[in-house]
Structure 1
Amino acid sequence: MSETVNCTAVYPTFAAPDIEDTCNWYVDKLGFTIRFLWGDPPTHGAILLGGACVHFWKGAPQLNENWLYFDIDDLDAMYQRARENAVEISREPETYPWGMREFNAVDLNGYNIRFGQHMGV
């Protein structure tokens, strides 16, 4: 059988001790929007940046095992927003030989988040 399976989206899902605080941090600090919060108090939630969606479930973060990479269209604007909101920057913006300009930050749970912009190389 050689049926093709189509996938329209992938939702990375990470553990966080407080779902509402985590989702709100991304909204307040980096301009994401909340897609949903489920439960009272929330035990699962999702955030959006454009068409990208990330889920969080209630649990202990598993650091140094996971990180998020966001391919965005205006790296300098995101970097400025992060700086203005006192987001911990772990790697300053840099242009790499593979044609991406990127910077790294750390979220409130300690997860590494990386933003990158294609530079047309």
Structure 2
Amino acid sequence: MTNFTFLRPVLWTENLDETILFYTSILGFTVLGKNEDWQWASLRKDDVQIMFSKPNDHEKFDKIGCTGSFYFNVNNVDGLWEDLKTKAEVCYEIETFEWEMREFAVYDNNGYILQFGQPVE
């Protein structure tokens, strides 16, 4: 049986430098690697890693988009909300939901929805 050990999504962007700036200056990620020729970068914050790239010529590319969202579990959702609510476009404000998660969501510079949540104790 094969064990899956890690998921690191590769998200498309039309502006790699703008995306790196959003994730490093607003969310506190660091750049692990970047290749200008490939228009690719790998970023990390704590245990989370995301790669970004411009779509390759062989990929069917119409526009940047995602049919879902990216959910980040954090340990201080209220503090993060206070920090991000004026720095990023808000998708929905912080709220405690019936499934016992306190969460909110913002859009990144590409329009991807980034949700941040913490279990309610």
- Fold shared, TM-score > 0.5 on shorter chain: yes
Q: Normalized against structure 2, the TM-score is what?
A: 0.84
Partner of 1:97: 98
Partner of 1:77: 79
1:118 offset after TM fit, Å? 1.4
Contact 1:72 1:116 in 2 (8 A): yes
RMSD: 1.8
Unaligned runs of 5+ in 1: none
SS of residue matched to 1:63 = coil
SS of residue matched to 2:25 = helix
Contact 1:30 1:81 in 2 (8 A): no
* CA offset digits 1:4-60 (Å, max 9, x no partner): 2222210111110122220221111121222221234x6111221210111111136
CA distance in 2: counterparts of 1:39 and 1:66, whole angstroms = 28
Q: Normalized against structure 1, the TM-score is what?
A: 0.84
SS of residue matched to 2:75 = coil
Give the counterpart of 1:33 among 9, 24, 30. 30
Number of paired residues? 115
Judging by fraction of residues, say which structure has more strand: 1
CA distance in 1: counterparts of 2:66 and 2:35, whole angstroms = 27
Unaligned runs of 5+ in 2: 56-60
